[in-house]
Chain A
Amino acid sequence: MDKNIRILIVDDFSTMRRIVKNLLNDLGLFNTTEADDGTTALVELRKGPFDLVITDWNMPGMPGIDLLKAIRSDAALSKIPVLMVTAEAKREQIIEAAQAGVNGYVIKPFTAGTLSDKLDKIFERLETAA
């Protein structure tokens, strides 16, 4: 995995943004930017190239599922992998996210190990596809 990839972390709770950022740092990934809902995330995404979005689902303003759909329907952003990290754990929600084109789904509470596994899996698949 390229350690310089640029990652956007989207969560309305500053604690969770910091947790994800620190866990990414522990994995040697330091190039991160933060946003607190889908709307501010889209502003960041349109400013500069990102290699990965890690987003919560339940946020005031634009929720993560709508952000995912917006990313997939925007030609400039549609190829960016999206990892959903959320407490939303209803079967139909996981299916909705899958149908909207999510690349991975981590249910809160999660362990550092789970997050690391899901990131590895996303990048393995991207490398295979490339």
Chain B
Amino acid sequence: MTSAAAVAVPSDRAHIVERLHQALWALEHDDAEGWREHVDALIQWRTQPFVQGLTRLARELEAALGEGTGASGASLPDACSRLEHVVTLTENASMRTLDLIQECSQLLATLPVAGDDAATQAAAGIRSRLSEMTAAQGYQDLTGQIILRVVELVRAVHAGLGEATGQVTPLQLSNRGHGPSIAGLDEKPATQDDANDLLSSLGI
């Protein structure tokens, strides 16, 4: 901030000189209100280009991130749509897998009653593995929660940029939960064993 431009004599010099005189006069005559008014006017004059610059930057950033078009597809709303599409794709894949697991269970039920222990055990083993395959499809819910949280964050940033350029939406995420923990990003989550210990220590 020591460049020649920053210290150049201002073009509205007469106005500044007058403000400074008025501020000095107010100070010498114990006029607190007048002193504050003139000093505030000087501060505003000094910071105005900075605020204007920030507002312009925010507006440019908003335009760059909010209106990315066509081939580049670099806009924030576009990024959100892509992420939401991933959630839909995994949901469809997960539902399809659940359909197939149910069909397998139904096919298994049509087989003749097992004639020996080995066949009975094999049928039970297949049934329990089909149940675990069903539980494993829960990945769709977990990845979906993480992706939707990122979408919410990106939308909040986009809205926050709008705020810096004159809109009034506050930058705020909902507080309905944290979603799944991610290693390296979140604090270490409780395991099922931790939860069991904690609950039994609480009498549950």
Contacts and interface: CB of A to CB of B under 8 A. Distances in A.
Nearest to A57: B177
A89 B181 contact: yes
Main SS class of interface, B: helix
Given A98-B199, A112-B135, 18 more contacts: A15-B94, A15-B98, A16-B140, A19-B138, A22-B101, A23-B131, A87-B145, A87-B179, A89-B195, A90-B189, A91-B194, A94-B195, A95-B202, A98-B202, A107-B192, A108-B141, A109-B135, A112-B132
A60 interface: yes
A119 interface: no
A108 B204 contact: no
Contacts of A73: none
A13 B176 contact: no
A121 to B, nearest CB: 9
Contact of B142 (A23, A104, A109): A109
Given A58-B177, A95-B198, A98-B204, A22 B98 contact: yes
Interface in B90-143: 91, 94-95, 98, 101-102, 105, 127-128, 130-132, 134-142
B14 to A, nearest CB: 60
A26 B187 contact: no
B138 A112 contact: no
Contacts of B135: 19, 23, 109-112, 115
21 contacts: A14-B91, A14-B95, A15-B94, A15-B98, A16-B138, A19-B137, A23-B131, A26-B131, A26-B134, A57-B177, A58-B145, A58-B178, A86-B177, A89-B190, A90-B187, A91-B198, A93-B178, A95-B202, A109-B135, A110-B135, A112-B128
B84 to A, nearest CB: 13
Interface string A74-101: 0000000000001111110111001100
Contacts of A105: 195, 199, 204
Contact of B95 (A18, A23, A86, A94): A18
Contacts of A58: 145, 176-179
A102 interface: yes
Contacts of B174: 60
Interface in A8-35: 11, 13-16, 18-19, 22-23, 26
